[in-house]
Amino acid sequence: MAKTFAFGPYRLDAGAGILFRGADPVGLGQRAVALLALLVERAGRPVAKQDLFEAAWPAQAIEDSNLTVQIAAIRRTLDAQGGAGWIETLPRRGYRYIGPAVEVDDRDPTTTALIRLALPDRPSIAVLPFANLNGDPEQDHVADGMVDDIVTGLARIKGLFVIARHSTTVYKGRAIDVKQVGHELGVRYVLEGSLRKAGNHVRVGVQMIDASTGTHVWGERYDRDSEDIFALQDEIALSAVGAIAPSIRRAEIDRVKRKRPDSLDAYDLVLRAQADVDSGMPGQVARALQLLERAIELDPDYALAYGNAAMCHHCLFLRAGWQEASREASIRHARLASIHGQDDAAALTLAGFSIGMDGHDRGAALTAFEAALAISPSSALTYILGSVMFGWAGEAERAIAWSERGMRLSPFDPWAFAAFDAQAMSHLLRGRYDEACHAAYRSVQANPAHSITYVQLAAALVKLGRLEEARRAAARVLELHPAFRFSRQFAGVNCAPELADVLDGTLRLAGLPE
């Protein structure tokens, strides 16, 4: 069980990887938090460099300078409360925590919070990462892709509450207590499985458990040739739905069946590109684009490949120089995703986002989002990306409602930073500056490398009279995005005039260039 450490005005949640000062998350990176957790856990005792390396960079060869940089970041953070001297350097040996007394709580605060989630008033399910029995990490993407398609198929069933796959990846490689998973994610049923692939042969074992009782509900083993993998995924999803709610009409169960890409190679390329697409980082999305372009060459009708490519070009437009060619490419790929993805909720969602954000056609974007939700009512990504569009459009309450809905469907989503960012700008617009600051901190913690969230944080801190902190947040924006100009950002996303008015003066005071 993960621990929580309390010292001075700070609380460090080791399980969630977040440092809090009072009730507010502190913008400290994951590696720095891991180092600080080890230091306070061994308070008063020397911690060798090798132990610190293993805590923050497991199984990696890392130079001492990387550790020095992270320790300096910890000291800068603690110095806000006069704690720069709490971390003592032991020359050639390591470091030692010598600050205020540390209180340890063995309960996991993340679990404590999530256990309060009530079960939905309809059947609910989470699909856990499948175990890769090959032992070959190169085959992980096969198991992950199967889980993703099972989740997507289940999410197409109206009347079924489905947790997004990204929120179950935290259980990968862990010993699972199914009842605890049910409590943490707020679901009644848990589907788990394993996959073994040998040559062209795939063996998949799956079972479904009633998490409220631990009772085995259904299980099956499948032996197939790999060219039947798509039919296999549909078969597992259909069987799971039938076991959860036999009363669901057959017509709704048939919705699980959907068009598949004609090329297995193209499908594999999109799977491999997905993590880089989700990063929102220019360098990584440029790498993803190479894979997506190959996928499109292999399968020119592959809607999800077009949708992901649109998202990549969107990122390059806003974060790599506002080049008109990137904006046009985003819109072009989004339109192709819409044409080829009439039955694909993810493709329609990504298309709608690019059309709304880069094409400035929010009406068409909303139509795409609504079509996606008609196909997949449990699509967390639709609600999260829709909340961002509504946030920049000045529709504050709608943005907050959609972001909260998206986070309920996918509590650990990699796009969580975008949902919190939408909340931050919406609270700013409504004059709720404490809430805006809190949401911005949560967004920064979820994705510390994303520059735009620091913009909302800087504005909120100015509104709260915390000018020095605001200037540090603004400096971080420019560190991550040296060419940032807020007027160009506003124009790029078609920012609502009332939101631009709120942000304009505060960002100037924080030191961001127009």
Per-residue pLDDT of 56-80, as tens digits, reads 888 777 788 888 889 988 998 888 7
One-letter identity of residue 470: A
The mean pLDDT of 453-475, rounded to a whole number, is 92
Q: What pLDDT, in 10s, does the model give residues 10-57?
A: 888 877 678 887 767 777 887 888 899 999 998 888 898 888 988 888
Rounded to whole angstroms, how far apart are CA atoms 402 and 347? 19
Give me the CATH number covering residue 147. 3.40.50.10610
| Strand 131-132 to 189-198 pairing | parallel
Most confident of 98-102, 135-139, 222-226: 98-102
The answer on 389 and 412 residing in a single domain is yes
> How far is 437 from 42, CA to CA, in rounded Å?
32
Among 110, 139, 160, the domain-final residue is 110
Boundary of a domain, candidates 256, 275, 290: 256
Q: In what order do the strands lie in the sheet with 24-26?
A: 24-26, 18-21, 10-13, 4-7, 103-105
Residue with the bigger pLDDT between 279 and 333: it is 333
φ, ψ for residue 474 (rounded to 5)? -65, -40
What per-residue confidence (pLDDT) applies to 399? 96
Query: 288 falls in which pLDDT band (50, 70, 90)?
Result: very high
The pair of three-digit structure tokens given for residue 494, joined into one six-digit string: 């078609």
Same structural domain, 492 and 459: yes
CATH number at residue 83: 1.10.10.10
Number of H helices, E strands in the chain: 22, 14
Return the DSSP state at 262: S
Burial of residue 501, with CB atoms counted within 10 A of its CB: 0-12 exposed, 13-18 middle, 19 or more buried: exposed
Domains: count for the chain: 4
Is 343 in the same domain as 457?
Answer: no
Least confident of 189-193, 256-260, 416-420, 470-474: 256-260
For the record, the structure tokens of 196 come out as 């073994």
Q: What is the pLDDT of residue 261?
A: 63
* CA distances to 128, 143, 337, 452 from 170, in Å: 9, 15, 30, 26
What's the CATH number where 480 sits? 1.25.40.10
Structural contact between residues 278 and 414, judged by C-beta atoms closer than 8 angstroms: yes
Residues 487 and 396 in one domain: yes
pLDDT cut 90: percent of the chain above it? 36
Together in a domain, 272 and 360: yes
From 4, 29, 9, select the one nearest 444 (Cα to Cα): 29
pTM, full prediction: 0.69
How would residue 109 be classed by pLDDT, with cut points 50, 70 and 90? very low
* Structural domain of 38: 4-110
Q: State residue 110's pLDDT score.
A: 38
Last residue of a domain, which of 90, 110, 130?
110
Residues 506 and 394 in one domain: yes
Q: Say what the pLDDT of residue 245 is.
A: 46
Say yes or no: 222 and 279 in one domain: no
* Statement to judge: residues 361 and 416 lie in one domain: no
Specify whether the CB–CB gap between 353 and 390 falls below 8 A.
no
Work out the end-to-end distance of the chain between its first and last CA atoms, rounded to an integer number of angstroms. Answer: 47
**Separation between Cα atoms, residue 363 and residue 369, nearest integer Å:** 10
Regarding whether 79 and 192 lie in a shared domain, the answer is no
> What's the confidence (pLDDT) of residue 250?
35
Residue-wise pLDDT tens digits, 164-180: 877 787 788 777 788 88
pLDDT at 191 over 60: yes
For residues 126 and 241, state if they share a domain.
yes
Judge if 337 and 418 occupy the same domain.
no
226 with 202: CB under 8 angstroms?
yes
Do residues 10 and 95 share a domain? Answer: yes
> Six-digit token pair at 333?
């790929």
